[in-house]
């Protein structure tokens, strides 16, 4: 009769360890195969995390490359002027037209300006004093408006963070129309001095009104004037003047009026004086100003 060796019957080292010296099973055998299983699961999880991180990094660098390419293409096509936060910039174009670029604004001027065309692109707000040229009309484009003039002076406000845009004519004559195909009305408006147009694309409405010419002329001269203005009126003027949204936190307690004239003052200095009078604190962030009342 053949004798089967006990070592041949045990198929693994683990089975050996699960038996006591007298051949009886231990109550708590060592389960090494499970340890190996969990180790494999850990390796798989780590590999999955690395794969996700690698994909995220790839998408990030791809986006950076796309932005860089768009910037290079823009630089190849335009001379781009960007005014600093809270400060204006004065620009003289090739045809001797003058532009006062408001704070936090961008003007794109093609490298071939005044050769084949006089078309520029505005993101923000600016005053334009355009040199006459009947053969080469000046054209201004924003996201929602197109303006055509021969020789005139006007102000346009078209910030990307605002839902509405406006155009004010100080001298001369101009034509303005929507820069998109409207479902309601695509008819252009002709403006004379003192006329303005307000456009809100959200409701697809463009209205012609009048405005205070002297107030805009003060803006051109960099004179910020208040005469018995309410708190809200001052805040609106500062948003218009410096091209930045102002967020109010807390409740403004004083209901007083504000008067004063300021010339070429920085946004920070104006806010210091304003908050001293209204007992508030302010914080200038990258894209907005926060006024906080205790």
Residue 63 has pLDDT above 70, yes or no: no
Among 52-56, 77-81, 235-239, the range of highest mean pLDDT: 77-81
Q: What is the mean pLDDT of the chain?
A: 82
Collapsing DSSP to helix, strand or coil, 174 comes out as strand
Task: Round to whole Å and give the CA distance between 288 and 294.
Answer: 19
What mean pLDDT is predicted for residues 51-67? 57
What's the confidence (pLDDT) of residue 252?
80
Among 54-58, 210-214, 250-254, the range of highest mean pLDDT: 210-214
What backbone torsions phi and psi does residue 67 show, to the nearest 5 degrees?
-65, -40
pLDDT tens, position by position, 176-210: 999 999 888 889 999 999 999 999 989 999 999 99
What backbone torsions phi and psi does residue 177 show, to the nearest 5 degrees?
-150, 170
Within the chain, residue ranges assigned H as helices are: 6-9, 13-17, 32-77, 213-220, 231-242, 267-278
What mean pLDDT is predicted for residues 105-121? 95
What's the confidence (pLDDT) of residue 67?
47
What mean pLDDT is predicted for residues 149-165? 92
**In the numeric block, which tokens belong to residue 247?**
């967020």
Q: Are 122 and 106 in contact (CB under 8 A)?
A: yes
What's the confidence (pLDDT) of residue 58?
56
Residue 115 has pLDDT above 70, yes or no: yes
53 band by pLDDT with thresholds 50, 70 and 90: low
Task: Please provide the distance, in angstroms rounded to a whole number, between the alpha carbons at the two ends of the chain.
Answer: 100
Task: Round to whole Å and give the CA distance between 291 and 251.
Answer: 10
What's the confidence (pLDDT) of residue 86?
82
Residue 21 has pLDDT above 60, yes or no: no
Q: 74: which residues sit within 8 A by CB, 6+ positions away?
A: 80, 108
pTM for the full predicted model: 0.71
């Amino acid at each position: 009769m053949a004798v089967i060796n006990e070592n041949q019957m045990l198929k693994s080292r683990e089975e050996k360890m699960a038996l006591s010296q007298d051949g009886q099973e231990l109550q708590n055998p060592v389960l090494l195969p499970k340890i190996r299983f969990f180790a494999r699961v850990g390796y798989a999880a780590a590999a999955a995390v690395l794969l996700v991180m690698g994909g995220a990094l790839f998408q990030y660098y791809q986006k950076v490359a796309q932005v860089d390419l768009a910037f290079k293409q823009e630089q190849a096509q335009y001379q781009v002027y960007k005014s600093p936060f809270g400060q204006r910039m004065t620009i003289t174009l090739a045809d001797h037209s003058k532009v006062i670029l408001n704070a936090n604004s961008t003007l794109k001027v093609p490298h071939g300006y005044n050769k084949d065309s006089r078309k520029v692109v505005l993101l923000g707000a600016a005053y334009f004093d355009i040199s006459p040229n009947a053969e080469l009309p000046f054209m201004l484009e924003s996201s929602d408006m197109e303006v055509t003039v021969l020789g005139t002076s006007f102000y346009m406000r078209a910030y990307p963070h605002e839902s509405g845009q406006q155009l004010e004519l100080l001298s001369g004559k101009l034509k303005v129309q929507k820069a998109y195909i409207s479902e309601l009305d695509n008819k252009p408006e002709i403006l004379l001095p003192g006329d303005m147009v307000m456009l809100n694309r959200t409701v697809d409405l463009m209205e012609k009104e009048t405005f205070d010419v002297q107030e805009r002329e003060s803006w051109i001269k960099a004179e910020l004037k208040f005469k018995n203005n309410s708190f809200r009126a001052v805040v609106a003027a500062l948003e218009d003047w410096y091209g930045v949204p102002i967020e109010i936190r807390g409740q403004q307690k004083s209901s007083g009026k504000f008067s004063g004239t300021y010339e070429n003052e920085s946004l920070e200095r104006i806010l210091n004086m304003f908050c001293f009078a209204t007992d508030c604190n302010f914080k200038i962030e990258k894209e907005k100003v926060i006024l906080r009342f205790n």
